[in-house]
Amino acid sequence: MIKLAVVGATGRMGTRVLALAAEDDRFEAVAALTGRDDPKFGVTIPFRDKSLTATDQCEADFDVMVDFSIPAGTMAWLPVCVERNKPMVIGPTGFTDEQLAAIDEAGHTIPVLKATNFSLGVNLLLSLVADAASKLGDGYDIEIIEHHHNRKVDAPSGTAKSLLHSVLESTGRDRGSDVIYGREGETGLRPPREVGVHAVRMGDVVGLHEVHFGGQGESVMLQHRATSRDTFASGALRAAEWLVGQGAGRYDMRDVLGLR
């Protein structure tokens, strides 16, 4: 049985990770972690026939830490995983370059799996987008549109950034000169290699990502719609199970799903 420590345990994703883990006899939750500034700090979280207390201390021995907090939370718990030589699954987005460098550095010591999205469908979409962008070529305009709920604090989403990376990597476009985030005013003619990235924030949208390819006389759209956070939570548990026993290194969901 894999012993889980869940960071962000009282949040939307952490709650679902614990709920799904409770239904899966491969997992045992041993720590529910959150910050002292969390209004739910100290609450009792039921897990099968026991209860966990949402706290900022982790005295329990764990096999893998699953983090769905915020970048500051990741930075607080990453050194703990390094010190205890335990793998870490990282789900937050919106990291600074300095924070990303710290995650990379930790990967020299422990297994670290960071993903912008844990769903099978999205990770398949990343491969499909790269293939389409490469094959369609410069004759097709590319626009990336992401939709999320009105409480999401970073934009564009981490998944949109991953989709953009797939386009840039497969076509040789340049992030500095070929990418535009939204448009306003007199924009002039659209440059042939431009990639537009747009963020929509409204209501309770779980997640919708679209990549549009517009050519002369036709258009192609690749889309992924999430209707439940459980698709991400189950993917995170799959990642946690896979990561236990891996060697030190930096991984993502394509490693888990064999899509590399």
- The CATH classification number of 2-114+229-257 equals 3.40.50.720
Percent of the chain with pLDDT over 70: 100
User: What DSSP assignment string belongs to the chain?
Assistant: -EEEEEETTTSHHHHHHHHHHHT-TTEEEEEEE--TTSTTTT-EEEETTEEEEEES---S--SEEEE-S-HHHHHHHHHHHHHHT--EEE------HHHHHHHHHHTTTSEEEE-S---HHHHHHHHHHHHHHHHHGGGSEEEEEEEE-TT--SSS-HHHHHHHHHHHHHHT--HHHHEEES--S---SPPTT-EEEEEEE-TT--EEEEEEEEETTEEEEEEEEE--THHHHHHHHHHHHHHTTPPSEEE-HHHHHT--
Query: Which tokens belong to 4?
Result: 């889980």
212 has catalytic annotation? no
Q: Which of 258, 250, 230, 257 is nearest to 87 (CA)?
A: 250
Condensed to tens digits (0 to 9), the pLDDT of residues 141-150 reads 999 999 999 9
Catalytic residue among 152, 161, 165, 198: 152
* CATH number of the domain located at residue range(s) 120-226 in this protein: 3.30.360.10
User: 77-97 pLDDT, tens per residue?
Assistant: 999 999 999 999 999 988 999
| Chain segment 5-25, per-residue pLDDT in tens | 999 999 999 999 999 999 999
Nearest to 5 by CA among 46, 50, 43, 56: 56
For residues 23-47, give the mean pLDDT: 97
Mean pLDDT score, 51-80: 97
Give mean pLDDT, residues 170-183: 96
Phi and psi for 253 in degrees, rounded to 5? -65, -25
pTM assigned to the model: 0.80
**Whole-number Å distance between alpha carbons of 45 and 3:** 16
- Quote the pLDDT of residue 116: 85
Q: 161 an active-site residue?
A: no
C-alpha radius of gyration, the chain, whole number: 20
Q: Are 50 and 20 in contact (CB under 8 A)?
A: no
Mean pLDDT of 21-49: 96
User: pLDDT at position 259, please?
Assistant: 72
Cβ distance 73 to 57 under 8 Å? no
pLDDT at 120: 87
Question: Are the C-beta atoms of residues 21 and 237 closer than 8 Å to each other?
Answer: yes
Confidence of residue 226 (pLDDT cuts 50, 70, 90): very high
Is residue 128 pLDDT above 80, yes or no? yes
* Contact (Cβ atoms closer than 8 angstroms) between residue 180 and residue 230: no
pLDDT for the residue 202: 97
Could you state, in order of their start, the residue ranges of all structural domains in the chain? 2-114+229-257, 120-226
Q: Which of 86, 148, 209, 224 is catalytic?
A: 148
In the prediction, which pLDDT does 61 show?
97
Amino acid (one-letter) located at 179: V
